[in-house]
Amino acid sequence: MNMLRKSVVLKLWLLMVALVLLILYFTGVLQTAKLKQLYYDQQLELLLSEAKHLSGSEDITGQNANMHLLYTLAGALKGNIMITDRQGNIVHCIGMGMEMQNVTGAKINVVGHHDLPWSKSDLQSIMQGETVSYRGAYHFLDTDVLTVAVPFYKDGQAAGTVMLSSPLAPIEERISALQKITLSAGLIGIALATILSLLLSRTLSRPLLKMYQSARSMAKGDYSRRVEVKSQDEIGLLAHSLNTLAAELQEKITALERLDQTRREFVANVSHELRTPLSIIQGYTEALMDGMAATEAERNKYLAETHEEILRLRRLVTEILDLRKIEAGGVELKRQPIDIEQLAGQVYGQFKALAEDKEVTASLDFAPGSYTVNADADRIRQVLINLLDNAVRATPAGGRVKVELLEYKDTVQVSVTDTGPGISAEEQPLIWERFYKVDKSRARTGGGTGLGLAIARQIIEAHGGTIGVSSKPGQGSSFYFTLPK
Ligand code: ADP
């Protein structure tokens, strides 16, 4: 029972066998009944026509019968011929082991003779010209027979009966032969069902078991297992979707793990970044409270430093929040057609004075063309500010910062080139990461957060654009981004 509950193939096998047996049983039973009836009817008809034939020929009925003919006919029929007189007394009884001729004196009457089926009313019916038949055990003949009885006439009057019997055994034999055929068909059917089940177990049960194992290992956290898909039927589809599921889950889980990792790093970085300004602020305020600043000028210096650190903290927090928002997709870009040429001009204007203070030559170059893109002006301005701020800060006195606009078929490119220290090839991929600073000490004086480029990349990618850098240490850097038109 447990086996049955566990195996779909066993279930199928039982179902098929049951079906074969059921069909065979019904066809067997119906066929046998129908055939029996058919054989009986045929035999009855044969007997009847012979009996009628006999009753019509005067020379073989009654006491003056031509016995030779009676013997011949009984032999041909392999049956028994019985002739009685009007009262039912047996005159002759020939065939099937009987040889009674002209036994009128013995007065053996078919009616009431023990174990003979005939009744008085039967005899009356026969005498009135009706045909009476009987099927079953028959005394005298010691076997099951089919019998028909008809009257015979002399001088236009019913003079007695002719009763023809033939054994049922041959019919039964034929039917049992047929039943044997049906039985062997059943056995063949069961054998076929077994072979079919074995084949099915290959194509049905085995892949299902493999899928089961795959699903189990997925539950245990192993998504590397795949089911081999050969068929394109429902099982194949199932296996295929299981494989896809495993692959997708694997991908998702790896992504989740990566996300978790970056989140943890992010929190660690943020705490680290916050700690430095906070401890500086703490140091200055404690010094002020302890009265360590002797002069007004010194006190003002401490306050100014504290203020600087507070501004730094503020910027850090704003940038962190900004980045998180962009990354989480929480910022909806307010896209509208903007003129990059105009936007770059504005930002350039802001930084020109700063650059000149540092004795850095700034320039803005662009060929005439259409620099209109569909973008969020505030966000793109932020990117420009970040890039220009980096460039001006990186460039020493006497250096140059150049902003260039280029128009391509489908895109607009903005580049900011400086003559600063440049960035080594190993560090070029790293500068886009949050909190990454090439020169850790520079961050202290320059006030960078290490978030500017990370934010810039998020913004540009959200616009469907690309951002990158080409740089050689000692020769300066060129940051560029493109936006689709
Ligand atoms: P920060 O706010 O510190 O500038 P960014 O993300 O903008 O942070 O830049 C990351 C790091 O990349 C900077 O600390 C700096 O070391 C380096 N970097 C950025 N721009 C330039 C540049 N134009 N020349 C040289 N180094 C640069």
Q: How confident is the model at residue 442 (pLDDT cuts 50, 70, 90)?
A: very low
Which comes out higher in pLDDT, residue 315 or 148? 148
Task: Give per-residue pLDDT as tens, 323-347.
Answer: 888 777 767 788 999 999 999 999 9
Task: List the single range of 57-66, 143-152, 277-286, 443-452 with lowest mean pLDDT.
Answer: 443-452
Whether ligand 1 lies within 6 angstroms of the CB of 67 is answered as: no
Task: Give per-residue pLDDT as tens, 306-325.
Answer: 998 999 899 888 888 888 88
Mean pLDDT of the chain: 88
Q: Cα(377)–Cα(384) distance, rounded to whole angstroms?
A: 10
Whether ligand 1 lies within 6 angstroms of the CB of 436 is answered as: yes
Q: What pLDDT does residue 348 have?
A: 95
Mutate to test the pocket of ligand 1, among 453, 455, 469, 479 (most ligand atoms within 8 A of CB): 453
Q: What pLDDT does residue 272 have?
A: 82
How close is the Cα of 159 to the center of ligand 1, in Å?
138
Q: How confident is the model at residue 422 (pLDDT cuts 50, 70, 90)?
A: very high
Residue nearest to atom 14 of ligand 1 (CA): 437
User: Taking the CB of residue 66, how many other CB atoms lie within 10 A of it?
Assistant: 13
Mutate to test the pocket of ligand 1, among 437, 442, 475, 481 (most ligand atoms within 8 A of CB): 437
Handedness of CA 367, 372, 378, 383 (dihedral sign): negative
Residue 46's φ and ψ, nearest 5 degrees, are -60, -50
Q: Contact, 433 vs 422, CB < 8 A?
A: no
How close is the Cα of 416 to the center of ligand 1, in Å?
13
Task: Give per-residue pLDDT as tens, 11-20.
Answer: 888 888 899 8
Ligand 1 atom with least separation from CA of 416:
23
Task: List the single range of 61-65, 103-107, 444-448 with lowest mean pLDDT.
Answer: 444-448
Taking residues 251-280, what's their average pLDDT?
86
Does this model's pTM top 0.75? My answer is no
How close is the Cα of 97 to the center of ligand 1, in Å?
127
Whether ligand 1 lies within 6 angstroms of the CB of 477 is answered as: yes
How close is the Cα of 437 to the center of ligand 1, in Å?
6
Q: Cα(300)–Cα(366) distance, rounded to whole angstroms?
A: 46
369-397: burial string, b at 16+ Cβ within 10 Å, e else: eebebebbbebbbbbbebbbbbbbbbbee
How close is the Cα of 423 to the center of ligand 1, in Å?
9
Q: What pLDDT does residue 138 have?
A: 86
How close is the Cα of 431 to the center of ligand 1, in Å?
6
444: pLDDT strictly greater than 80: no
Residue nearest to atom 13 of ligand 1 (CA): 437
Task: List the single range of 151-165, 362-376, 445-459 with lowest mean pLDDT.
Answer: 445-459
Whether ligand 1 lies within 6 angstroms of the CB of 482 is answered as: no
Task: Give per-residue pLDDT as tens, 72-121.
Answer: 989 988 999 999 998 999 999 999 988 888 888 888 898 878 778 899 99
Whether ligand 1 lies within 6 angstroms of the CB of 438 is answered as: yes
Mutate to test the pocket of ligand 1, among 317, 360, 382, 390 (most ligand atoms within 8 A of CB): 390
209: pLDDT strictly greater than 50: yes
Q: Contact, 204 vs 231, CB < 8 A?
A: no
User: What is the SS3 assignment for 191-205?
Assistant: HHHHHHHHHHHHHHH
Whether ligand 1 lies within 6 angstroms of the CB of 467 is answered as: no
Q: Cα(74)–Cα(80) distance, rounded to whole angstroms?
A: 6
Whether ligand 1 lies within 6 angstroms of the CB of 456 is answered as: no
Taking residues 239-255, what's their average pLDDT?
91
Q: How confident is the model at residue 440 (pLDDT cuts 50, 70, 90)?
A: low
Q: Contact, 467 vs 402, CB < 8 A?
A: no
Q: What pLDDT does residue 413 have?
A: 96
6: pLDDT strictly greater than 80: no
Q: What pLDDT does residue 371 have?
A: 92
Whether ligand 1 lies within 6 angstroms of the CB of 16 is answered as: no
Structure tokens at 174: 């034929």
Mutate to test the pocket of ligand 1, among 319, 402, 438 (most ligand atoms within 8 A of CB): 438
Which comes out higher in pLDDT, residue 463 or 139? 463
Ligand 1 atom with least separation from CA of 386:
7
234: pLDDT strictly greater than 80: yes
Structure tokens at 145: 């027979």
Whether ligand 1 lies within 6 angstroms of the CB of 452 is answered as: yes
How close is the Cα of 448 to the center of ligand 1, in Å?
8
How close is the Cα of 389 to the center of ligand 1, in Å?
9
Q: What pLDDT does residue 106 have?
A: 83
Task: List the single range of 40-49, 84-93, 265-274, 409-418 with lowest mean pLDDT.
Answer: 265-274
Of these ranges, 169-173, 176-180, 463-467, the one predicted with the greatest mean pLDDT is: 463-467
User: What is the SS3 assignment for the chain?
Assistant: CHHHHHCHHHHHHHHHHHHHHHHHHHHHHHHHHHHHHHHHHHHHHHHHHHHHHHHHCHHHCCCCCCHHHHHHHHHHHCCEEEEEECCCEEEEEEECCEEECCCHHHCCECCCCCCCCCCHHHHHHHHCCCCEEEEEEECCCCEEEEEEEEEEEECCEEEEEEEEEEECHHHHHHHHHHHHHHHHHHHHHHHHHHHHHHHHHHHHHHHHHHHHHHHHHHHCCCCCCCCCCCCCCHHHHHHHHHHHHHHHHHHHHHHHHHHHHHHHHHHHHHHHHHHHHHHHHHHHHHHHHCCCCCCHHHHHHHHHHHHHHHHHHHHHHHHHHHHHHHHCCCCCCCCEEEEHHHHHHHHHHHHHHHHHHCCCEEEEEECCCCCEEEECHHHHHHHHHHHHHHHHHHCCCCCEEEEEEEECCCEEEEEEEECCCCCCCCCCCHHHCCCCCCCHHHHHHHCCCCCHHHHHHHHHHHCCCEEEEEEECCCEEEEEEEEEC
Q: How far apart are the first and last CA of the chain?
A: 71
Q: What pLDDT does residue 230 have?
A: 80
